[in-house]
Structure formats: structure tokens, C-alpha cells
Structure 1
Amino acid sequence: MSEGADLVANSAAPLVADDENYDSGIDNPSLASSTQSLTESVLSHVYENGRRYHSKSVGRYFLPTDEQEQDRLDMYHHFMLELLGGKISLAPFDRDPGFVLDCGTGTGIWALDYAEQHPASVVYGIDMAPIQPSYVYPNVRFEIDDLELDWTFRDKFDLIYARLMSTGIKDWPRFFQQMYDFMNPGGYVELSEHDLNGVRSDDGTMPSDTAYNRYLTLLTKCMASNGLNPYLTLTDYTRMLTSAGFEITKTLEFKIPMGGWPKGKKAKYLGLLYAEMSKTGFDAYGKSLLVKEGGLTVEEADQLIRECVELLGERKQHVYYYKWHIVARKPE
């Protein structure tokens, strides 16, 4: 069976709800991350609505950088490992690639795991916020930078990995072109993104006014007003990669259940993981934008976020969203 077979083998097949009672049995791990020794200006933060945001990212990246968000990002890394059958990467190397770039490395957990599994590789993790650990493997380099500026790396890469960049990249064609220009022939780009165009249901249990889509409609409108493109599809990403010169070698489309409602051990576990992450995720993605750009009061934003979180626990709306994983290759 392929990676995530019960979710991706036929993404057109409906997810079936499990009517039996269940106990999630999921712990909420907290993987602590300390910051690097950097200048005071790089480390400065602002606080609003009870969350901490990195001051250098204001206006460019709208999610917080506090410990609560770092825990969610680390849990998302576990979620991705579960989704891909324990594989940290699907790029088909027969040896350790020389230089690897992790775009938007966040807490640095992917870069650290990849470096541990590939000791002959040198892994660069780039992010705008300094939330990576100080003590790392000797083959890991963390740097603070904006990937939408001109790239100035001295090395060219054999693997460039990027996931969840839709909240930070405004010019995707340029982003992919810089990937191509800074990649060795035969190298791979690996992209993981999710559909923000709305959630779906296969069995009619989702009402037209569901809180999920009320939240998403307002969130994506706010993102678009800030120069982002939250309406991209799998076809859009593959088209832009191809236009940059890459050859698409693998595309996977997953149905990700929102909550532990589906049948099937893997689908249920991923849904439960999603629900656990979303206890803080709806707030992380939306609170700042809904209040500052969406015209909601803090109380109205809190109410909408609370409705979404409560729906996850009720299991009455059998909803899911699409997640895409793309591997592309630079020709020899």
C-alpha cells in the first residue's frame, strides 16, 4: 500500500463515520525549544490578544511564535510522520543528499530529524523567527532570513523542503524560481500544503452555515487583503513548479478528517491529532487577522474560534479538508 493508503489511495472515495464511542488516548506532547543567542532586535516580540508574535514578522507572517504555538508545530511534525507512514521525506535519494534546505523551519524539528537520519547531509533551516534550539547536530545550520528576498546561499541544494508556507509566501512563482536556481541538477523539491478553499463532507452532515467555513471565508479574505493567495489548488502548485522548470514526480492528495469521527484506525488517529492541534490552531491562524483585518471584536473572534473547537469534539459534522504533498525534480 502507498503512504497513507487508507486516505490517499482514492481521494474521491468517501470517508465513513464511526458511530462507536471512543477515547482519544492522545497525549499533548510539549517539545521545548530554546532560542539562539541573537541580537536584541532579532529577538524582540510584541504581545496582543494573549499571544506573542515575533516583531520582525509583523505584516509578513501572522501566526504567533510563543511556546503554545511551538508545541503545536512540533505536534504537526508528528502528524506528518503518521500521514506519510513514518517517512520524513518522499524524495527518492539512494544516498544522503549533500545540501538540504528546510524553508520556514519553525522550531527546526524537521531539519533536526532529517540531519539525524542523514548524517552525511548538511541541513540549513531558514525562518524569520529565532525559535530554533541552540544545541544542534553538527550538520545543522539555522539562519534567520526572509525567503522572499534574494537568496544568497553559497551552496546549491540537492533537496529543498517546504511545508505550510501558504501563510508566508506572497510571490510563489518567484519562490519556486529561486528554488530552481539554487538547486543542483537532479535535485528535488518537496512541497506540502493544504486546501484553504473550504471544508467538505461526503455524507451531508455539514450544514451550509458551518462555523468551519464561516471561519475560513473570513480568514482567507484577510489573507488575500495582505497579499497572500489562500485560494491555490493542487493544480496551481504543480503548474507553478512546472513553469519554474521542475518535473513533477509524485503528487499525493489526502482527505484529512477534522476530528475522530471516521472509521479506520489511521484515519481516526489522524483526525484526533488534528483535533488536538486545533485546540490552539484555530486561534493561532485566525485570532490576529480576524480582529485586525476581519472587523471582529476580540469577543466575536473568540466565539467563532470556540464554535470550531467545540464542533471537533462533538463529531456530528463529518468534515475533512484536502492536503497535498508534491515531489518535483530538477532535470539533469
Structure 2
Amino acid sequence: MSNGLETTLPIEADPDAGASDYESQHNLQSSTASMTSSMYDFVYENGRQYHRKSADQYAMPSDETEKNRLDMFHHAQLCVLGGALYTAPIDPAKMHNVLDCGTGTGIWALDFGEIHENAKVTGVDLMPIQPTWTYPNVVFETDDLEKNWTYEKNHFDFIHSRHLGMSMRSWERYIQQCFDHTKPGGWLEISEHTLDRLHCDDGTLKDDSAVAIYYTAFRRSVEASGLDCELSAEKLKQYLRDAGYVDVSSRLYKVPWGPWPRNKNARYIGAVGAEVLSTGLEAYGMNLMTKVGGLTKEEASKLIVEAMKDIRGGQVHGYHKQWQVIGRKPEVGDE
């Protein structure tokens, strides 16, 4: 059944939409147990905690607020994909070694490992924010995916990569390493979303709206940091083909910012998204806007507060685009 998100058609807005009925019912924050703080080396900026060793490469925080946001974001992603953890046509019986790139709190790896008990799932991230408890078949590692991988080549039956746009400097090299370490016949799935702009189908996103002004400042800061603001499904698919993957395809999803869509499932996802954005606008933008975007903390904070009013108000019908891009490593004898 369609959830109203996988589409190239406009999202229909509910003229009676508002956030008030969702704010109390759908505050869906969750959390996972974390490693002891003695294992961390932190810096504190603008009232948020960052992991020192990755602060120059990854501009987002690593505190409990961010871990809760990541877990809630995972819930939103499950809703976007209709409850699925992935879209690639993998064979569960052949899932022996699985790699989760940018595992964050490890929640995707844990969910996958619980379902696929015979698979060894390795979750890797720049920041050691994963739980100390885990399933016997799930392990977590702290490493930089942009450096040379030390895994065995032709090893992973499935590599899952989700939302690395705020840290990845060389997508071509990263995807080539994914290919080198994918087992022949195995799959890569990459989930990414737009960073270039917020989208709108009905003209309610005006240039002078607070959320549009926030996004302009955010994009300017992302560009100044050297990240690829114009990443797209077509770019990712070409990178996969260049690396050697075949059967490359993508799916497009429109993910609303706020509970404004008429479609019930899309409206719910927008409501969850509003909760994610309640700390996410700061997580994504504060560090970059104050370090390289030319804003003071006070200016950035005001932008964030005003943008959230637009999102919760339901009158600005903005959304971001998300792509699920998949490719298979050919086997010997493939045409």
C-alpha cells in the first residue's frame, strides 16, 4: 500500500492541517543505552556536545539530545519505507556479512541483526555513540569511512549506507570502496536526501518565509564547509555505475516538513518529522552557520526558532527529497 511519499506527483496539502493535535500525541522520542562518558573526549559549543576526534569532519553533535533525534529519525525512515529497513532485493538466506555505514546509534544494525539472526552485522561510525548492549551477531566499530578500509575485499553480502551527506567529502572514492568490499552478487543501498534546498509543490514556501531563510543560510554554510550540496540520485547512480555496480536504480520519496499533507500516512510522517526537526534544525545548522556561515549564535538561534514556527504552523508546505539508490556487484559470468 502506498504511503503517499514514493511519488513524483505533488503532495496534496490538507487545508485544515495544523500541528497542535500532533504535538501532544506524537512526541515519539526514544533512546538507547550509551557507552560510559569516560570513553569519550568531548568539546562543547553553543550549548551542544561534540565528539572532539570527529568535530572537524562531522559538524553535528553527539549528545543525548542528538542520539534521541537519531532514533526518532530512524522511526521516521521506517515509516517512509513502509516499515522496511531496506529496498534492495536481497536474499535473507544469503546474508552472512552485512555492513552498516554511518550507523549512528546503531539502531538500524540492531534491527537488521534481530531479524536476520544468521547475519553478522557490523555497524561503523565516526562517533562511538552506540550502546554497550547488543545482539550476539551485531558489533560496532569506530572508524573513518573515507580512509582506506581494512575489511576483507569481496566480503559483504549487503552494505547499507544512510545519510552521510553531512560528512562525506568524496562520494566517488567511498562508493568505490563499497564496491571493492561487496561480495560478487551482493548489494549496496544508499539512502540520502537533498541538501541544496527545501522543495514545495504549491507555492506556499515563500522566499521571505522563516524556513526558507533558514535553509538559505544552511545551504550557504554547507557549501562553505566543502560538502556537496547538489548531491542527487542521478549523481549517486552514476557513481555506482562507475564503480562497477549493475542493476542500478533509485526510488524517490517526498518527506514533508510538518503535519500538513492530506494523505494520512504522509501527515503522520510529517508530524514525526516536525519533532525530529525540533532539535534537528539546530543539529544540522548551528555549528556550520556559526563556524563558516558568518552568523552569530544569537542570529542562528533566532533563525532556528522562527523556522520551527513555520514548520509547526502547517501553512508552509515544504518537503525534502529522499532517494534509495541500489546496485548489485556482478558475479562471474554476468553479461
1:34 corresponds in structure 2 to 34
Distance 1:203 1:33 in 2: 42
What are the equivalent positions in structure 2 for 1:1-332 lying under 5 Å apart?
1=1, 4-8=2-6, 10-11=7-8, 13-20=9-16, 23-24=21-22, 25-35=25-35, 43-96=40-93, 97-154=95-152, 156-332=155-331
Q: Confirm or deny: 8 A CA contact 1:68 1:280 kept in the other structure.
A: yes
Q: Confirm or deny: 8 A CA contact 2:241 2:248 kept in the other structure.
A: no
Distance 1:212 1:239 in 2: 32
Q: Confirm or deny: 8 A CA contact 1:36 1:132 kept in the other structure.
A: no
* Aligned partner letter, 2:108: W
* 3-state DSSP of counterpart to 1:113: helix
Instruction: Flag the 1:120–1:36 CA change in 2: closer, same or farther, 3 A.
Output: farther
Distance 1:251 1:285 in 2: 25
Q: Confirm or deny: 8 A CA contact 2:221 2:293 kept in the other structure.
A: yes
Normalization by structure 1: what TM-score? 0.94
Distance 2:192 2:17 in 1: 32
* 3-state DSSP of counterpart to 1:229: coil
String of CA shifts for 1:39-93, please: whole Å, max 9, x gaps. x6x6100011110000011110000000000000001111111111111122222
Distance 1:316 1:18 in 2: 10
* Aligned sequence identity (%): 42
* 3-state DSSP of counterpart to 1:271: helix
* Relative contact order, higher structure (CA 8 A, sep 6+): 2
Root-mean-square deviation (CA, aligned residues, Å) is 1.6
Distance 1:157 1:61 in 2: 26
For residue 320 of structure 1, report the CA deviation from its aligned partner: 1.4
* 3-state DSSP of counterpart to 2:78: helix
Distance 2:17 2:178 in 1: 47
For residue 21 of structure 1, report the CA deviation from its aligned partner: 5.2
Structure 1: gaps of 5 or more residues: none
For residue 228 of structure 1, report the CA deviation from its aligned partner: 1.4
For residue 226 of structure 1, report the CA deviation from its aligned partner: 2.5
Structure 2: gaps of 5 or more residues: none
For residue 287 of structure 1, report the CA deviation from its aligned partner: 0.5
* Aligned partner letter, 2:246: E
Distance 1:291 1:227 in 2: 15
